[in-house]
Structure 1
Amino acid sequence: MTDGHPRLSNPWLVLTTLLFIYIFNFADRFLITGLVGPIKAEFAVGDGTMGLLMGPAFVLLYVLLGVPLARLADRGSRIRIIVGGCLLWSVATAATGLAKGVVALALARAAVGIGEAAFVAPAYSLLSDYFRAERRGLAFAILGLATYFGQMAGQAGGPAIAAHFGDWRLAFIFMGCCGVPLALAALALVREPPREQQGQAQQVEQIAFLDLVAILIRTPAYLLLMFGFALGALSGVAFGVWGPELLTRIHALDPVDVKSAFAINFGVSGLLGMLAFGALSDRFARSGMHWPVRLSALAIASATLAVLAVLWMKTFTAAMFVAVPAGLLGGGWSVGLLATLQYILPARFRASATALFIAVTTIGGYFVAPWITGALSEALGDDAASLRMALTLVIPIGFAGAALAWIASAKVEAARANLNGARGEAKAVANESAQR
C-alpha cells in the first residue's frame, strides 16, 4: 500500500495482458468468417443467413449489455468485469463448436456477444488511468493490434485447424479453451487503480444515465466522432468479414490458402499501420488533439479507396499487392478517434460514455455491415459476382465517415470544456426533467 492506495501494476504489464485477452476477443469474433464455406454446407443456408450469424446474432446483446456493464465499471472493478466477460465469451465460443443447428449456433453467438460486451469500454477506461493523455495514442494503438492478430487467428488459424482435423467445430472448441487461462492470469496480474483525478473514486456520485445521454447529445464533437467511427467501421468490417470469402469465390482458389494470405497481408500491414498511426497520433497531439482526428479522417478516406481497388483486381496476386497499402491506411484510423474520445471524456463517466459510443459504432460495424452485405449478395444472386457488387455498394460509406470525422476535429476542445463541466449541467438537466 502507498498513500492509502494499493500498489499499482506495471502499466506495460497491464497493456500486454489486455492485449492478449483482446486478441482472443477478436479471434472468437472473426472465427466464423473464416469458416463460412463449411458452415453453409453443413446447415444448407445462404449468404443472408450467414450475414445474420456474423452480425446481428452476435451484436444484439453485445450492444444492449455494453452500457450497463460499463456503468458497473464506472463504479467498481473494471478488471473483474473484463475477466468475467472473457470467461463467458470463451465458454460460448467452445459451445459454438457443439451447435447442432442454426438456432443453436445463433444462441452461442449471442452468448459470445454478451461476454465481449464486458471488455472494450472497461479496458479503455482502465488504460486511461494507467497512461497519461499524451501517451495514450501509442497505448491504444498497441491494444488495437489485437484487431489484426485476432483477425489472423480467426480467419487463418480457424480454417487451418478445421482443415487439419477435418472438422470446423474443433476450431471453435480450441479457440474457446484458450481464453480461460488468460482470464485467470489477468485477475492475478492486474490491479484496479483509483480513477484519474478523482481521489477516492468509489465515493464519486455517478451521473444518472438519462442525464448523461442528454449531456452527450448536446456535445457535437461526441456525436460526430461516434457517427464518423460507425460509418468507417461499417465500411471496413463489411470487407473484413466478407473479403476472404469474396476472394475465395472470385479467384476459385483453395479457401485455406486464400484466407491465410488475406489475413496475413491485411493483418501484417494493418499491424504496422496501427503502430505507425499511434506514434503519429501522439506526436501530432502535442500540437492539439484535433490533429489525431484529422489524421483519422484522411486515413478512413484513403483506406476506403484502396479497399475498393482490391475488390476489382483481376488476379489474386494483384489483390494481395494492393492489400498492403489498404492495410497500412486502414490499420490505425480508429486510434485517433478513440484517443480523442478519451481526451474529451471526464473520468467519472468515461466508461459509460465510451460504452454508448461503442454501442452505436458496433451497430454500424458488426450489426449492419455483415448482415446488409450478405442480404444484398443473396438478393443479387448468392454467388461471387453478387458478393463483389454488394461490397462495392457498401464500402463507399466510409467516405461519409471520413467527412464526419474531419468536421469533428474543429470541435474537440469545446467538447472537452463542455463535458468536464458536466456535473453542474447534469444537475440542471435533472432539475429540468423534474420540473417537466
Structure 2
Amino acid sequence: MTSQTAVDSPPISRSYRTWALFLLMLIYLSNFVDRIIISVLGEAIKADLKISDGQMGLLAGLAFASSYGLMCIPIARLAERFRRTTVIAVAITVWSAFTALCGMAHTFTQLLLFRIGVGGGEAGYAPAAQSLISDYYPPEKRASALAVFALGVPLGTLFGALAGGYIAQHIDWRAAFLIVGAPGLILAIVVKLFLKEPRRGQSDPSPVAAAEAPPLISVVRTLAGSPAFLLMTAGLALVSLTSFGLTQFMAPFFIRVFGFDYTQAGMALGLLGGVSAALGTMVGGWLTDRAALRNRSWYALIGGLGALAAIPFYLFGFGQQTAPLALAVLFLGPIGLFCGQAPVYAFTHNLVAPRMRASATALVIVALTLIGAGLGPYLTGAVMDAVNAHLFQTRFAGDFLVACPGGKGATPDLAEACRVTLAEGARYSLMAMISLLVLPGGLFLIAGRYVERDLDRAAARNTSHGDA
C-alpha cells in the first residue's frame, strides 16, 4: 500500500506524536544495541577467534557499513513511495534476525557475513523514521524532536554496553548477540499494528504533498546547491569517523590500560557513549532550536564549537593514570562531540521538500556510515595495530602479531610484554584519532556563513514550486 493512503489522514494529536516519537527512539535504541554490542564484546571475540584489532575494526566498521551504504538509498526511495511504517517493520525484522545469527558464528568469515546482514537491515530504518518525525513536528520543533530520536544512539550504546558486558562476563559473547536480537521482532509487530502513517508535509507551513516522489537526481541537486549542507555533512561525517572509532575501542582501552573486566568496561562505555553522549545530543538539539530563532547559523555553529571543545577533554582523559580521573575527564568529551548531530538533520529536513526527506536523510547517513562507521573503527584498529607493532619492535625486538596472537602471550614474560604494549598503544592511538576533530570543527564554522542564505533560498523554492 502506498503512502498516498495517508494523504487524507486526520491531524496528529500532541499526545500521539509524543508516543510515536518515543516508540521511534526506542526502536533506534534497539537498532544501536544490535549495531554497537560488538564493541563491548570485542576483546572476548578477539581472544576466541584469534583476530587482530584491524579485523575487529573490519567487523564493527566496513562489514557493517558496506551493506548499510549500499542499501540505504534504495530503501529510502521506497520510503518516499510506500508506507514508511511498513518499511520500518521489515527493516527491524531483518536486522534483528541477523544480530541473533551473529551469536551462531564460529569463524571470522561467518561473523563478517552476519554483520553485513545487520548493516543491510539497519539501512532501512533511520531515513524512514526521520521522515515520519518531520511530518509529526513543525520546523521550529524539529531539532528538539530529532534530538530525542537521536537519543537512541547513546541510550542504545548504554544498554548495549551494560548488557553485552554483563552477558559476556557471566555467559559468553555468543549469548549476548542472541539475547539482544530477540526484542526487535516484538517492536516490528508494534510498528505494524500501531504506528500511524501521517500525510507527507503535514506539519509544514504550506502542507502540499506531491503526487509522486521527485527523482533522486532532484534531491541530489537540491542538496548539492547548498554549501552549508555540503560542509555540515562533511563535518559530521568526520566527527562520526572519530566517534565510531572511539566507541569500538573505548571498552578495550579500559580493559587494557586499567584492567577492567567485561562488566566494568561495559559500564565505562555506557557512561561515556551513553549518558554523556545523550546529554550532548539533547543539549545540541535544545540549544539549536532556541538559538536558531535569532540566528539560524547556529544549525552549523553548535557542531563546530562542540567538536573543538571536545578535543582537550579527550586528550587529557586518555593520558590519566587512574581510572576514576580518566572517566571523570572523558565524560565531558562526548557532550561536545555529539551536540552537532540533531542540528544537521534538522537543517537538512528544513532545506528540502517533504517528499525528499527520506532520501536526503539517507544521503547524509550514507556519508556518515561509509566514512564514520565504515572507516572509523577500521582506521582506529589499523592505527592501533601499527602503533602496537612499533612499540613491541622498539622495546622487545619482536613481531607483535606473532608474539601476541589475540593480544595474549604464551609465557608470563611475553604476556606482560603484550599487556604493556596494548595499554600504551591504546593511549597513543586514541589520542591520535581525537586530534582529527580539528578538521570537522573548522568545516562546521565555515558552514555557518551559508546557513541563512541557503534556508532562505529553500523557502522561496518550496513556496514557488510546492513539493516538486
* TM-score, scaled relative to structure 2: 0.85
Aligned mate of 2:118, from 112, 115, 119 = 112
Change over 3 Å in CA distance of 1:2–1:119 after alignment to 2? closer
Shift of 1:77: 1.1
The residue matched to 1:5 in structure 2 has which SS?
coil
Name 1:187's counterpart in structure 2. Answer: 192
The answer on 1:83 being equivalent to 2:89 is yes
Structure 2 CA distance, aligned partners of 1:266 and 1:361?
A: 17
Query: Contact (CA 8 Å) 1:160, 1:256: kept in 2 or not?
Result: yes
Change (3 A) 1:341 1:199: closer
What SS class does the counterpart of residue 9 from structure 2 fall into? coil
1:172 maps to 2:177: yes
Correspondence 1:386 to 2:425: yes
With over 3 angstroms needed to count, the CA separation of the structure-2 counterparts of 1:273 and 1:380, relative to structure 1, is closer
| Aligned-residue CA RMSD (Å) | 2.3
Aligned match of 1:252: 259
TM-superposed deviation, 1:239 = 1.1
TM-score in terms of structure 1 length: 0.91
- Asked whether the equivalents of residues 230 and 365 of structure 1 are also in contact (C-alpha less than 8 Å), the reply is yes
Shifted more, 415-424 versus 6-15: the winner is: 415-424
Pairing partner for 1:404 from 434, 439, 443:
443
Rg (Cα) greater in structure: 2
Report what 1:431 is aligned to: none
Q: CA deviation at 1:309?
A: 2.0
Quote how far apart the aligned CAs of 1:74 are: 1.4
Q: 1:429 is matched with which residue?
A: none
Q: Percent identity?
A: 32
Inter-partner Cα distance in structure 2 for 1:238 and 1:3: 42
- Of 59, 63, 76, the residue aligned with 1:70 is 76
CA offset at residue 141 of structure 1? 1.4
The answer to whether the Cα contact below 8 Å between 1:294 and 1:406 also exists between their aligned partners in 2 is yes
Asked whether the 8 Å contact 1:373–1:387 carries over to 2, the reply is: no
Partner letter of residue 38 of structure 2? I
How far residue 288 of structure 1 moved from its aligned partner, in angstroms, is 2.9
- The aligned runs of 1:147-296 (5 Å cut-off) are 147-165=153-171, 167-196=172-201, 201=209, 203-296=210-303
Distance 1:131 1:88, change over 3 A: same
Q: Secondary structure at the match of 1:381?
A: helix
User: Residues 166-190 of structure 1, C-alpha deviation per residue, up to 9 Å, x if partnerless?
Assistant: x211110000001110111122221
Partner of 1:99: 105
List gaps (5 residues or longer) in structure 1.
427-436
CA contact (8 A) 1:237 1:369 kept: yes
Relative to structure 1, the CA distance from residue 232 to residue 141 in structure 2 (aligned partners, 3 Å threshold; closer, same or farther) is same
Residue identity opposite 1:36 in structure 2: G
Partner amino acid, structure 2, of 1:258: A
Once residues 218 and 11 of structure 2 are traced to their aligned partners in structure 1, the CA distance between those partners, rounded to angstroms, is 35
Q: CA deviation at 1:340?
A: 1.6
Asked if the contact 1:346/1:420 (under 8 Å) is kept, the reply is no
Q: 1:223 Cα deviation (Å)?
A: 0.7
- Paired residues of 1:234 and 1:397 also in contact (CA < 8 A): no
1:23 aligns with 2:29: yes
1:4 & 1:117 partners in 2: Cα distance? 29
Q: 1:44 to 1:396 in 2, by over 3 A?
A: same
Q: Is the 8 A contact 2:166 2:262 kept in 1?
A: no
Alpha-carbon distance in structure 2 between the residues aligned to 1:345 and 1:161: 44
Instruction: Say whether 1:361 aligns with 2:365.
Output: no
Q: Which amino acid aligns with 2:451?
A: V
Structure 1 residues 305-335: Cα deviation after superposition (integer angstroms, max 9, x where no partner): 3222221112111111112322332342212
Q: Do the aligned partners of 2:237 and 2:372 also contact (CA within 8 Å) in 1?
A: yes
Shifted more, 311-320 versus 289-298: the winner is 289-298
User: Match of 1:5?
Assistant: 9
Specify the code of the residue in structure 1 equivalent to 2:385. E
- CA change 1:343–1:214 in 2 (3 A) is closer
Distance 2:455 2:193 in 1: 35
* Kept in 2: contact 1:216–1:223 (CA 8 A): yes
The 1:391/1:108 distance shift into structure 2, 3 A limit, reads: same
The offset of 1:387, in angstroms, is 2.8
Q: State the 1:398 CA deviation.
A: 1.6
The offset of 1:245, in angstroms, is: 0.7
Distance in 1 of aligned mates of 2:311 and 2:98: 33
Letter in 1 for 2:141: R
Cα 1:75/1:288, change in 2 over 3 Å: farther
Contact kept, 8 Å, 1:207 with 1:423, in 2: the verdict is: no
Return 271-280 or 32-41, whichever deviates more.
Answer: 271-280
- Where structure 2 has 5 or more consecutive residues not aligned to the other structure, the ranges are 390-421
Equivalent position SS for 1:70: helix
Residue 300 of structure 1 corresponds to which residue in structure 2?
307
Q: For 1:11, give the aligned amino acid.
A: R
Equivalent AA in structure 1 for residue 173 of structure 2 = W
